[in-house]
Structure 1
Amino acid sequence: MQFSSRDFSNAHRVLKIRGLKVGLTGRPNAAPVLNGIDLDIRAGETHCLVGESGSGKSVTSLAVMGLLPKGALEVQGGEIDVEGFEITTATHAQMRELRARRISMIFQEPMTALNPVLRVGEQIEEVLNMHTDLSQAEAKKRTLDIMEQVHLPDVARIYQSYPHQLSGGQRQRIMIAMALVLDPHLLIADEPTTALDVTTQLQILKLIAEMQERKGTALLFITHDMGVVAEIADTVSVMQNGRIVEKAPIRDLLTNPKEEYTKKLLTAVPNLAPRPARPAASAKDVLDVQDLEMVYGGGGLLKRQGGVKAAQEVSFTIAPGRTLGIVGESGSGKSTVARCIIRLIDPTGGKVNVAGTDISTLSRRQLRPHRKHLQIVFQDPYRSLNPRWTVARSLCEGPINFGTSKAEAMEHAAELMELVDLPRDALKRYPHQFSGGQRQRIAIARAVAMKPDLLIADEAVSALDVSVQAQVLDLLDDVQERFGIAMLFITHDLRVAAQICDEVLVMQKGRVVEHGAAGDVLQNPHDPYTRNLIEAAPGREWDFANFRALGTPPLTEGASA
């Protein structure tokens, strides 16, 4: 493992935070959201801010940008100095001038941050029009230049494109171009790679590092992915409950963490060593997919020839109690296969046998009695749970629709809440009253309420921080062991696949390129594409649980204390 050993002691300080306190607006006696934050970042330095959801990472970044939500949060003490400019006392006009020129930010979700009805080229130009006196021709030339610098292909075409016409990685590159077009001295990146597959993530991390080195930008990188931290950080601050509990150079933090909370974060990170494969609970397969095909576009008789082949000749089986993981880059066809199996979309070819019945050609009415055999857990539970329904109604809806009495469904819902480690009285609450990890537990409970034979988890833990992710993975493991459910697990995180999957199927451009036992695929891959995926996984050379690089001896007992 190669650690950053760059010395920034002689570089000028770009960001200085002292005693920062952020609290609820109009409630000075309430517990502060941030309490006494101290932070320094120098030119060219990458400082990673890590911690669980709710620790205060994003609030810190919003305070630096002067973007705390009005009427909700306010700075109640301390100072934020950006190269001699005090943020906490700046006027709206001063902050507007400061943003983009001195400080800029890359947000986590570009589809939310980008305007869906404006071409992306126009959105980059808008930054130049607001902050410079460049002519329209000069602004367009500068825009095309920065788009080339972030390695976008065919910049003339992408300049004219809308956000929805670009891939996730391309949209994130547009966000980076917007953030860097005026050469800011401080760049804040808030979880910019969380939802990206490993190869796209690697490209984005390399791009940020390249632009940073070229321009000498100070970088505040917010993430819950310790693998990314191991790859890019010079220094790290660990946040918990609105405080920085540990701060150290990356080498010291990963090899000799001082705080128990830091050790907890590190030991929660899954590694690429697959778990032992488990025997099937029964010899009869729950799911048997044969030559599945999905073609988008093209019409009528020419549909198969003229459309985009999102899935081609995909075949696999899953036995009770076993987990098959499907991995691959964005656009490889993973989610398309899952949606075809559960019939959210209708496949254009092949067979999908669930519990002995081919459901691929059934009508919606014919399909209804078979729905209880298969359930799905989506990536974002806040979008998949009805915000106007109580948890009780969400958990009871399915069983009641299939003939269970309301009283029996309510009792079963209460049992399920205990199964997912939530209190029974939380049934009366609504989704927005829970954390992200708790909402995902509710989504799992809703799926299990139907007593399915097959559970599909589509990126079910990708948006969760490492400690909550570990809890949800343990929960899925427990549920599967208790009920003997077969599971199809869709993920772009190979470390997660190694921890939960018995078999791994690798997809590229709609085709299966490798399929086998998780140990064989992840430790001895045969296809070059699989090898590229594994090599792109951040932190793959690090044994986080033992605070060491792979190939070095583990620490002796007490060495990290």
Structure 2
Amino acid sequence: MRFKTQTFETSPVALETAKLSVNLPDTPGQPQVLESIDVTIRQGETVCLVGESGSGKSVTSLAIMGLLPEALKVSKGRINLQGRDLLPLSQAQMRELRAARVAMIFQEPMTALNPVLRVGDQIMEVMELHTNYPASERRSRAIAIMEQVHLPDVERVFRSYPHQLSGGQRQRIMIAMALVLEPVLLIADEPTTALDVTTQQQILSLIAELQTNHGTAVLFITHDMGVVAEIADTVYVMKHGEIVENGPVEQILRHPQADYTRKLLSSVPSLSPRVARPEKGEVVLEVESLDKIYGGGGILKKLPQTHAAKNVSFTLTRGRTLGIVGESGSGKSTVARCIMRLIDPTSGRIMLDGHNIAGLSRNALRPHRQKLQVVFQDPMRSLNPRWTVAESLIEGPLNYGTRRADALAEAARMLTVVGLPENALKRYPHQFSGGQRQRIAIARAVMMRPDVLVADEAVSALDVSVQAQVLTLLEQLQDELGIAIVFITHDLRVAAQICDEVIVMQHGAVVEKGAAAEVLVNPAHEYTRALIEAAPGRSWDFQNFREMTEVTHASPA
């Protein structure tokens, strides 16, 4: 692993927080959300702020931006931007600084961009608010920054709305908006978490390139230690609102001092595939020559067709996991939705326990749905926010004739299986963390005793430690119940740790398939090789920390 070796000790300080503390003012006796946070970022330096959900990373960034929710208050400390304390400033003064001196890139550009404004107008709006540039210069500068972030066909993209662009293109627009006024500090809050590995690599390279060109200080918030290994100069590790360790990236990744840092490093999945499970069960799912074509209709004008899945075939036996990997737009989720019959395939067969469900009507499909369940990426959107956990868990069994008392008893048992207390039955989704909600979503699916579980990016938004727990849970459920899993992911590290076989998709077609140990170690197709090369921190072996942590935990106190 080649770490960045440049030092910034003599560079001017761009941002410094001193003893920054944030609390809930109406809850005396409660622990502070942030406790005495000291962070220094110098001009041209990339500082990574890492930790699990709830560690205080995003609260730190919102405090710097002056965007804390009303319930949170800075109780003490300073936030100095080039020597100017931001805390005494009014909201009007902070609005003048945002974008002009300090800018932020959020995780999900689709929620940060205005859906009814063309993206070019949104970039120009930043300049309209903070400069006196005439309209012609605003437009030329917007075009120039869009070219700097390597957007294709800039004039077309300039006129496009957010929904007409890919996820990677939308994130590039967010970066363009953030950098168009050349701020002193750029805060990037998980900007690549939801992106596939090649787009992620492009965005990380782009931020580094623009940082070099503009001398910008970057505060990069992430839970991905592979990303940290790629881009960081300095690392701050946060836990429960406190900094537990900080130092140069090589020191933190090679010689971590805090147990918590070692735990984070040990949770990073390895790119080395696990030992495959034996093929000893019967075939539970067989997909043969599956095709899905979108479009092609139209009354006045024939619309273009999109061949989202082309001649996809595979078999899956009981108790094994098949991974489907590829970039966004490769057809992974289309195949998953066809298998689930959430969309109708154009042609092909989907054999579930010997029954072809590809062309069944809604009523004819109903008896088979019990054997085919799904876990989506975002459990907050797939769980009903107005229902208790108990109501969510028992809905499926009740629909298939299980008595309510029996369903509730099974729900209580299932919660213990996924590592949650029985009293969670009476609570609502918003009262849980992201990892806990995903455990509830898995429990809901397993309540149906399915033969096949489709996991569509089910761990991509989770912290590495929570991700490791959920992957372990899925394996335990496989051992106990013999469930077969179709695992959709863009993260090759995750695929290596859970999949027995792997299918690699590009532009709707399968370009390579085989045993995970073969495909991920000795890829035959150039596209597979490109995906593996794009994995962040690919040459860094986190396995040493996993073994170290296991030895530490196994040792007597």
Specify the TM-score bucket, using the shorter chain as the normaliser. over 0.9
Give per-residue Cα distances to partners, 1:5-57, cap 9 Å, x unaligned.
11101100001111000011333542110001001000000000000000000
Give per-residue Cα distances to partners, 1:493-515, cap 9 Å, x unaligned.
00000000000000000000000
Q: How does 1:259-408 map to 2 (within 5 A)?
A: 259-282=258-281, 284-299=282-297, 306-408=304-406
In structure 2, what is the Cα distance between the partners aligned to 1:302 and 1:503?
46
Deviation at 1:73, TM superposition (A): 0.6
Deviation at 1:306, TM superposition (A): 4.3
In structure 1, what is the Cα distance between the partners aligned to 2:105 and 2:527?
29
Give 5+ residue unaligned stretches, structure 1.
549-553
Q: How does 1:99-248 map to 2 (within 5 A)?
A: 99-248=98-247
Partner of 1:17: 17
Cα–Cα, structure 1 residues 398 and 40, in superposed 2: closer, same or farther, change >3 Å? same
* Residues 1:416 and 2:410 aligned together: no
Deviation at 1:215, TM superposition (A): 0.5
Give per-residue Cα distances to partners, 1:424-447, cap 9 Å, x unaligned.
111011100110000000000000
In structure 1, what is the Cα distance between the partners aligned to 2:87 and 2:28?
17
Give 2:17's aligned amino acid: I
Give 5+ residue unaligned stretches, structure 2.
553-557
Cα–Cα, structure 1 residues 300 and 106, in superposed 2: closer, same or farther, change >3 Å? closer
Name the SS for the 2:370 alignment partner: helix
Name the SS for the 1:196 alignment partner: coil
Count of aligned residue pairs for this structure pair: 551
> Moved runs in structure 1, 4+ residues, more than 2 A?
25-30, 300-306
In structure 1, what is the Cα distance between the partners aligned to 2:542 and 2:220?
20
Cα–Cα, structure 1 residues 305 and 297, in superposed 2: closer, same or farther, change >3 Å? closer
Give 1:261's aligned amino acid: Y
In structure 2, what is the Cα distance between the partners aligned to 1:305 and 1:81?
55
Deviation at 1:102, TM superposition (A): 1.0
| Aligned pair partner of 2:535 in 528, 534, 537 | 537
CA contact (8 A) 2:295 2:303 kept: no
Name the SS for the 1:504 alignment partner: strand
Identity %: 66
CA contact (8 A) 1:281 1:484 kept: no
Q: TM-score by structure 2 length?
A: 0.97
Q: How does 1:412-451 map to 2 (within 5 A)?
A: 412-451=410-449
Give 1:392's aligned amino acid: A
In structure 2, what is the Cα distance between the partners aligned to 1:281 and 1:31?
52
CA contact (8 A) 1:255 1:547 kept: no
Name the SS for the 1:291 alignment partner: strand
Name the SS for the 1:47 alignment partner: strand
Partner of 2:67: 67
* Residues 1:458 and 2:456 aligned together: yes
In structure 1, what is the Cα distance between the partners aligned to 2:159 and 2:299?
32
In structure 1, what is the Cα distance between the partners aligned to 2:108 and 2:131?
27
Cα–Cα, structure 1 residues 296 and 315, in superposed 2: closer, same or farther, change >3 Å? same
Comparing 536-545 and 458-467, the one that deviates more: 536-545
CA contact (8 A) 1:256 1:547 kept: no
CA contact (8 A) 1:322 1:487 kept: yes
Give 1:440's aligned amino acid: Q
Give per-residue Cα distances to partners, 1:378-412, cap 9 Å, x unaligned.
00000000000111011100001001000110111
CA contact (8 A) 1:32 1:242 kept: yes
Partner of 1:508: 506
Cα–Cα, structure 1 residues 147 and 94, in superposed 2: closer, same or farther, change >3 Å? same
In structure 2, what is the Cα distance between the partners aligned to 1:29 and 1:431?
26
Deviation at 1:281, TM superposition (A): 4.2
Partner of 1:84: 83
Cα–Cα, structure 1 residues 305 and 290, in superposed 2: closer, same or farther, change >3 Å? farther
Comparing 537-546 and 481-490, the one that deviates more: 537-546
CA contact (8 A) 2:297 2:303 kept: no
CA contact (8 A) 1:437 1:468 kept: yes
Give per-residue Cα distances to partners, 1:117-144, cap 9 Å, x unaligned.
1111111110000000011111111101
CA contact (8 A) 1:312 1:510 kept: yes
In structure 2, what is the Cα distance between the partners aligned to 1:413 and 1:29?
35
Give per-residue Cα distances to partners, 1:276-335, cap 9 Å, x unaligned.
1111341x2111000100011112899999410000000001000000000000000000
Q: CA RMSD in A?
A: 1.8
CA contact (8 A) 1:295 1:303 kept: no
In structure 2, what is the Cα distance between the partners aligned to 1:101 and 1:446?
47
In structure 1, what is the Cα distance between the partners aligned to 2:219 and 2:230?
14
